[in-house]
Structure 1
Amino acid sequence: MGSIAEYIPSETRLFKPLKIGQCTLQHRIAFPPLTRLRNDDDHVPLPLMEKYYADRGSTPGTLVIAEATAISHGEEGDWNNPGLVSDKQVEGWRKIIKAVHANKSIFFQQIWAMGRASRPDLLSQRGFPYRSSSAVPMKGSEHVPRPMTEEEILETITSFVETAQRAILAGADGVEIHSAHGYLLDQFLTASVNQRTDKWGGSIENRARLTLEVVKAVVQAVGAERVAIRLSPYAGFQGSEKADFLPLYTYLIDELKKMNVQFAYLSLVEATGDPGALIWNDKNIHQGKSLNFILESWDNLSPVIVAGGYTPESAAWAVEDKYGKWDTIVAFGRHFISNPDLVFKIRNDIPLTPYNRPTFYNVKEWSGYNDYPFSQEFLESHSDAVHPMTKEEGNGVDIY
């Protein structure tokens, strides 16, 4: 395996086109799903989100993936995260997607259910149940979710389908199903959380059933070329540690392959990309483990996105060397927050603007969201790609 220093990003496969589903990317740098809490109190996208997403798609042919978006009002489990259920929510996302497409970039909507990761007080206030795969509380919480009924599980599958259909009707090029990081689908995957004794729990086959049934149903509804799946085999975030990760994810991948369809892409989070390790320095028992067992099995069925704290140099090394055998896309999260012209900067070897973590989740605020500058070099050559909007036009609200 070569050295990271050997590779100049602009001269690697990082800037080679790649097809995902029905779309062609012009490079292999993706803007991944990032919860930012800039929706209004009814979980409707604020206008300032149009600029944010459009700007990150300012280099044509960029894959822009929406922050995790709730499939039902009962899964809008945190303040100011988004939903895609009501007419107002759909219209808000339609405007965002239109702004991204105006820059000739590609947009996928990540869709999820939060389960026990929701705020129990918020759900109670709005008359929704606090629930999960089983009655297992989050670590340190006194709130115990109730196990979902068979009917609720089937309703969840239907909600994934209907939300995927709404996303496509709003103009999205596809949807990414979130089955990672300790949220609802991952709560069913995780043995320590899922203690059911029916067909939705116990064995690996049963714990994987909900994720697979969701994928099958969404594929049937919108077409496999518009469907992607996100998995985090090594994450420990929100109690998602899995001692049986190897047989579990081997089974999941085998079953996805048995569907005999062409998915848009598979999104994988490396051990170094575990939110608990990145944000709170939690110890992850799987640090250092490789994704290769999944990529070997997937065998280029469709492109694979990898996420895990990459820099421009390590991303170039990843696509050329670490994952050189496969069609790989590298996701940049924190650096894309502070560099709306990240792709341009990497291609032209322009220093990156540092990010400011304390402002990541400033609810409804313009600051820490749309106030990171484009490089002068980009502005001189791409002035038509910058989404024009003032703070007032974007309804940015300073609440702190």
Structure 2
Amino acid sequence: MTTLFDSHRLGDLALPNRVVMAPMSRVRATADGLATPSMATYYAQRATAGLIVTEGVQPSLIGQSSPGTPGLHTDEQVGAWRPVTAAVHANGGRIFAQIMHGGRVSHPDTTGTQPVGPSAVAAVGDVFTPAGPRPAPVPRALDTAEVPEHARSYAEAARRAVEAGFDGVELHGANGYLISQFLSANANLRTDRYGGSVAARIRFAVEATAATVDAIGGARTGIRLSPGATFWGVAETDVPELYAALLAELARLDLAYVHLEATAEEPVLLGLRRAWPGTLIVNPTLPMGPKQTGRTEADHWLGLGADLVSFGRAYIANPDLVERLRLGLPIAPVDEATLYQGGDAGYLTYGAYRHTD
């Protein structure tokens, strides 16, 4: 039986284990989206993961969702990421950048401009701004002629990611952000070629992924998806049909992987496992839900055919998570108050397990 500690080939990368560090926003970048020395330390501390996927990185200023998140759309940002990737590689790790366009989940106080989305429909809930939470504004609906530019922004950021030393990128197609908004039936009310039918609603995701593959190659490109999820008020109809159609199109691109969140019932996810011919990463527990992924959930999904398993919150307080899982050591709890407060407390202050005599 496959275990978490077996090796796996991912594109051109040889992963020493099947543990993936899931992308998690930590909002520790500078005001102009630069990665910091603390971020280099944070990711390097976790380099024993088979693969690290970074926090969401905006591909453009208008694509920024929250303050304090890093970017990959300027030369200065590329330069700031190089020490991060170098530190991970020096510790023997592998790292992908998650490219995240927030779409309507943004605010003019953060970016200086009105957010954009498939349609003029506001997200549900408050978004983060420099002055604190504010109601999500109504986005400007993209003109048909503008949509390809935003699809290409993922590819442009991917080129910069490779320049910065990343091993690849993951497109954030989940959790109510721009790709997810196009997949949605209530955030996307378009009647052009990007909305309405299943084939039209998946078009943006396919175009963004294809552009990225053209830019850096399929072996360096993955995508994260959250079938049936309702983050930020999105709603999807015909979930099995929608995602089967999307995976069929993505299969033509020879991607490194698809990263599925367990946001649908298990039979739906198993159907998508059967539909996807390549490497599948599964995040077994609902993001920010009441339960963290542990060894039991990981082994369950490996038994169901997942190739790799991603761990989110468990990685925040346990930089040595692979070793803790291997030896059955306790998983340290996360200090929730320090998740997004900035600074090194609750960021670099978690250590490896201390063995006692």
Shift of 1:376: 3.0
Match of 1:267 in 2: 259
Q: Which residue of 2 aligns with 1:96?
A: 84
- Deviations along 1:172-229, whole A, 9 cap, x unmatched? 1111011111001111110111001111111111111110011111111111111101
In structure 1, distance between residues paired with 2:215 and 2:200? 23
Are 2:351 and 1:373 equivalent residues in the alignment? yes
Instruction: Spell out the pairing of 1:248-259 with structure 2 (5 A cutoff).
Output: 248-257=242-251, 259=252
Distance (whole Å) between structure 1 residues aligned to residue 136 and residue 293 of structure 2: 37
Query: Which of 198, 207, 213 does residue 201 from structure 2 map onto?
Result: 207
**What one-letter code is carried by the residue in structure 2 that aligns with 1:38?**
R
Question: Pairwise mapping of residues 1-400 of structure 1 onto structure 2 (< 5 A)?
Answer: 13-57=3-47, 59=48, 62-123=50-111, 126=112, 128-139=113-124, 141=135, 143-257=137-251, 259=252, 261-271=253-263, 290-299=268-277, 301-308=278-285, 309-319=292-302, 321=303, 323=304, 326-363=305-342, 365-377=343-355
Structure with max Cα Rg: 1
Q: Is the 8 A contact 2:107 2:136 kept in 1?
A: no
1: distance between equivalents of 2:229 and 2:267?
11
CA contact (8 A) 1:68 1:82 kept: yes
> Which whole-Å CA distance do the structure 2 matches of 1:337 and 1:142 have between them?
28
Offset at 1:288?
A: 6.0
Code of the aligned partner of 1:174: G
Query: How has the CA–CA distance of structure 1 residues 328 and 183 changed in structure 2, closer, same or farther, with 3 Å as cutoff?
Result: same
Please report how far the alpha carbon of residue 153 of structure 1 lies from its aligned counterpart in structure 2 after TM superposition.
1.2
The count of residues paired between Structure 1 and Structure 2 equals: 341
Structure 1 residue 287, shift from structure 2 partner: 5.7
> Once the 2 structures are TM-superposed, how far is the Cα of residue 375 of structure 1 from its aligned partner?
1.8
Q: Structure 1's 12 and 155: CA in aligned 2 closer, same or farther, altered over 3 A?
A: closer
Equivalents in 2 of 1:245, 1:208: separation in Å?
Answer: 12
Structure ranking higher in helix proportion = 1
Q: Residue in 2 aligned with 1:385?
A: none
1:47 and 1:307 mapped to 2: Cα distance? 31
Where 2:314 maps in the other structure, the secondary structure is helix
Q: For residues 147 and 26 of structure 1, what CA distance do their matches in structure 2 show? A: 45
Q: Give the CA deviation at 1:358.
A: 1.9
TM-score, normalized by length of structure 1? 0.81
- SS state at 2:146 partner: helix
- Residues in 1 aligned to 2:282 and 2:78: alpha-carbon distance in whole angstroms: 26
Are the equivalent residues in 1 in contact too, given 2:284–2:297 (CA < 8 A)? no
Matched letter for residue 305 of structure 1: V
Cα shift readout 1:42-74 (whole Å, capped 9, x = no counterpart): 1111211011000011x2x62011111000112
Q: Give the counterpart letter for 2:297 in structure 1.
A: S
Amino acid at match of 1:264: A
Contact 1:132-1:184 at 8 Å conserved across structures: yes
- Whole-angstrom distance in 2 between the partners of 1:182 and 1:74: 16
Shift in Å, 1:12 = 5.4
Distance in 1 (CA, whole Å) between partners of 2:65 and 2:46 is: 26
Q: How far did 1:289 drift?
A: 5.6
Distance in 2 of aligned mates of 1:232 and 1:121: 28
The offset of 1:130, in angstroms, is 1.8
Question: Contact 1:336–1:342 at 8 Å: present in 2 too?
Answer: yes
Paired-residue identity, %: 36
| C-alpha separation in 1, matches of 2:136 and 2:257 | 38
Structure number with greater CO (CA < 8 Å, separation at least 6) is 1
Q: Indicate the SS of the match to 1:75.
A: coil
Alignment RMSD, CA only? 1.8
For the residues of structure 2 that align with 1:316 and 1:154, how far apart are their CA atoms? 40
TM-score (norm 2): 0.91
Contact 1:270 1:290 in 2 (8 A): no
The answer for unaligned runs of 5 or more in structure 2 is 126-134, 286-291
Matched-pair contact (CA < 8 Å) for 2:158–2:169: yes
CA contact (8 A) 2:260 2:280 kept: no
Instruction: Give the conservation status (yes or no) of the 8 Å contact 2:284–2:298.
Output: no
In the alignment, the residues of structure 2 paired with residue 54 and residue 215 of structure 1 have an alpha-carbon distance, to the nearest angstrom, of 28
Offset of 1:265 from its aligned partner? 1.0
Unmatched tracts of structure 1, length 5 or more: 1-10, 272-285, 379-400
Distance 1:142 1:355 in 2: 28
How far does residue 120 in structure 1 lie from its aligned partner after superposition?
3.3
Q: 1:143 to 1:327 in 2, by over 3 A?
A: closer
Mapped partners of 2:324, 2:173: distance in 1:
32
8 Å contact from structure 1 (residues 20, 303) kept in 2: no
Per the alignment, do residues 341 and 252 of structure 1 end up closer, same or farther by CA in structure 2, a change over 3 Å counting?
same
Question: Which residue type is aligned with residue 349 of structure 2?
Answer: D
